[in-house]
Amino acid sequence: MHSALVAEKLRKQHWKKAVITTHHKPDSDAMGSSLGLYHFLLQHIPEVQVITPTDYPDFLNWMPGNDHVLIYEGNEARANAIALEADVIFCLDFNTLSRINEFGETVRRSKAEKVLIDHHQDPEGFEDFSLWTTETSSTSELVYHFIQQQFGREAISRQSAPCLYSGILTDTGNFRHNNTRSSTHRVVADLIELGADITAIHDALYDNFREERLRLIGYTLHNKLEILDDCHTALITLNKEELKQFKVETGDTEGLVNYGLSIKGIVLAVLIIDRTKLVKMSFRSKGDFACNEFAQKHFSGGGHRNASGGQSTESLEATVARFKETIRLYREDLSRI
Ligand code: 5GP
Ligand code: MN
């Protein structure tokens, strides 16, 4: 961990222009850690710009600082210029540059020093300074520890606290996944004291959807849920027509994969969606089945042991067929849990 080195540079005001970036289709931890860090960095760096590779769900727009976020897609020239002029780029909640799409090439080319803050396995190693561990629930929790340990808890502002809380909340599945530790609850307790309004945050994240999202969930669970009994697997697929029918927007399918896991005896839940350019896959598992290794080996993906994702350039039908074939190879692993 290079926390002390990074803190030293911040204290000496070594950096004048910073960029914070995070993975494409940012989730609550990606945005929460980025904006949580943003408010803090402004105390030590004159110019700080958050750049996301793509858009993100409307239910994350409430975070303080959201109005200052620049979305790379559609603003490529401006985003590239800012990243090339920056003297430091903070890379949050991802660890391979392919996770930030074409913006990754700019980040690679930029002479800026790179600081990685992340909790996923297998970092590619593009960074100069690493604040990395898989032992923390979320990148937001890592940002909390960095600020608290190096600068004291008072350095976490009323703007940062709700952002960091939100990232921890969602990456732990509302404190139910096994990445939730007693220390996680201590951090969260502190964030509440520092200004995170938990009812407002829960309302913003979970009671803020369009009607179509609920209709989509109902339709999907009724018509599209397939159980692969011998593999203890629940599978949902969504094709392009269905995405159109329910006017699916960024964020509408978030959480859909989890329903499969709530069925007794199911240890792997899978969601396969025919997105514009790629077929996107989400995996969630229980127990020892490492769905990140499965995603990495067969579907160019990765993530955490019990929550991972991947993709395929084949058609939806071909991807589903290949998934069904491949998962059979793991039948025994899936039965043992
Ligand atoms: P989700 O299913 O919510 O998109 O992603 C679940 C987890 O897997 C997240 O931690 C995410 O960072 C990771 N993940 C999702 N898709 C990919 C992918 O294509 N590659 C890698 N390396 N990780 C992914
Ligand atoms: Mn995360």
Position in ligand 1 atom list of the atom nearest CA 311: 19
- Beta-strand relationship, 307-312 and 279-285: antiparallel
Banded pLDDT at 113 (limits 50, 70, 90): very high
pLDDT at residue 251, rounded to an integer: 84
Pocket lined around ligand 1, Cβ cut-off 6 Å: 282, 301-304, 307-311
Give the C-alpha separation, 212 to 218, whole Å.
10
Structure confidence by residue, pLDDT tens digits, 240-296: 999 999 999 888 998 999 999 999 999 999 999 999 889 999 999 999 999 999 999
Q: Which ligand lies nearest to the CA atom of residue 138 in the structure?
A: 2
| CATH code of the domain occupying 3-206 | 3.90.1640.10
Q: Which residues surround ligand 2, an ion (CB under 5 A)?
A: 29, 93, 138-139, 171
Query: Domain residue spans in the chain?
Result: 3-206, 211-335
Banded pLDDT at 14 (limits 50, 70, 90): very high
No. of helices (H) and no. of strands (E), the chain: 14, 12
pLDDT score of 1 more than 90:
no
Q: Could you tell me the distance, in angstroms and rounded to a whole number, from the CA of residue 12 to the centre of ligand 1?
A: 36
As a whole-number percent, the residues of the chain with pLDDT over 70 amount to 100
| CATH code of the domain occupying 211-335 | 3.10.310.30
pLDDT at residue 276, rounded to an integer: 82
Tokens of 126: 């593009």
pLDDT at residue 43, rounded to an integer: 97
pLDDT at residue 337, rounded to an integer: 63
C-alpha to C-alpha distances, 9 to 6, 46, 92, 290, nearest whole angstrom: 5, 14, 18, 38
Q: Could you tell me the distance, in angstroms and rounded to a whole number, from the CA of residue 168 to the centre of ligand 2?
A: 8
pLDDT at residue 277, rounded to an integer: 86
Structure confidence by residue, pLDDT tens digits, 27-56: 999 999 999 999 999 999 999 999 999 999
Structure confidence by residue, pLDDT tens digits, 15-27: 999 999 999 999 9
Give the C-alpha separation, 72 to 202, whole Å.
28
If you average pLDDT over every residue of the chain, what do you get? 96
Structure confidence by residue, pLDDT tens digits, 166-189: 999 999 999 998 899 999 999 999
C-alpha to C-alpha distances, 26 to 1, 56, 58, 100, 235, nearest whole angstrom: 24, 6, 11, 10, 24
pTM of the model: 0.91
